[in-house]
Amino acid sequence: MPRQPTINPETSPAARFGFELRRLRQEMRITQSELGRRIGYTGAAMGAIERGIRLPQQRDLVERCDVALEVDGALVQVWEQCRSDGNQRWFYPWLEAEQQALTLRTAQPNLVPGLLQTADYARAIFLGRPGTSAEEVEKAVEARIDRQVLFERKHPPVMWAVLDEVVLQRPVGGPTVMGGQLKHLLAMAEHPCITLQVVPVMASCTAGLLGGFFLAQLRDGREVAYLESAGKGQVISQPREVRDVQLRYEAIRTSALPHMESLDRIKEWMQTWTT
């Protein structure tokens, strides 16, 4: 019998769910075909889910698997977590790129990037979304913080983050939350793979004012960009379009303070918020 390929649960929400489904099925010592037979699906369908090809869209399927594997809601919980911070298909390619990246570059004119946010700061952002329930907010916060474990890996990506000084000035969540967030930024800046730079308010650069974005260089050599927006973001991989984003990033970075001066500026604003 051919050996099943190893799944990396960090590559996408679908891969994470597939990894957990396979782990729980193997603990129960049943085959994909047997699990499929118990819940009314084919073994091939179970295999596609376990390989992370797709994340189940029907809760009923997940609940049937949960019952068949006798895990008392654990699989449903994983499924909900996988959907909460990237529950639209357009976001999946970026989550995959983020986890496979050798390098990450971002320019942010308004907010601290998600990979560097505290839970309180992220919560304040999600609370600002109209019509979002408290339960949805907490699930989104948990999923966002879970993404940050990529910096705890043995070989994490190298990240350069360029923040407009306005990010340090905007009181997201209030003074206490901002003080904690800026303290966290300074702590993250001690990571050997993270570099922070601040674009002063008085800088004349306008290249980054249209919106935040990320650039990822993947292990296979490809470059991917993620453009943020008030609605659906946009993930692009066409070389010419990615190059345009790269040029915008470089234009912004040239107006930024050096790393150590940027940390001093963050410290100044942290002291402002904490006093």
| Token pair for 224 | 């991917």
Q: Please, is 64 exposed, middle or buried when counting C-beta atoms within 10 Å of its C-beta (0-12, 13-18, 19+)?
A: middle
- pLDDT tens across 127-171, in order? 988 888 888 888 888 878 888 888 988 889 999 999 999 999 999
Number of Cβ within 10 Å of residue 198's Cβ equals 26
Number of Cβ within 10 Å of residue 23's Cβ equals 12
Residues 46-50 have a mean pLDDT of 90
- pLDDT tens across 166-209, in order? 999 999 999 999 999 999 999 999 999 999 999 999 998 888 78
CA 9 to each of CA 22, 27, 82: distance values in angstroms, whole numbers, following the listed order: 11, 17, 11
The CATH number for 89-274, chosen from 3.30.870, 2.60.120, 3.60.21, 3.30.310, is 3.30.870
Which among 144-148, 234-238, 265-269 has the top mean pLDDT? 265-269
The predicted pLDDT at position 8 comes to: 64
Q: Please, is 212 exposed, middle or buried when counting C-beta atoms within 10 Å of its C-beta (0-12, 13-18, 19+)?
A: buried
Tokens 């357009």, residue?
90
CATH hierarchy code of domain 13-84: 1.10.260.40
3-state secondary structure of 15: helix
Q: Reply yes or no on whether the pLDDT at 30 is more than 80.
A: yes
The set of residues, in sequence order, having a beta carbon less than 8 Å from that of 199 and lying 6+ positions away, is: 162, 163, 164, 165, 205, 208, 252, 255, 256, 257
- pLDDT tens across 76-109, in order? 888 887 776 444 556 767 877 887 899 999 999 9
Asked whether the domain spanning 89-274 has the same topology as the one spanning 13-84, the reply is no
Q: Reply yes or no on whether the pLDDT at 1 is more than 50.
A: no
Number of Cβ within 10 Å of residue 33's Cβ equals 14
Q: Where are the domains of the chain?
A: 13-84, 89-274
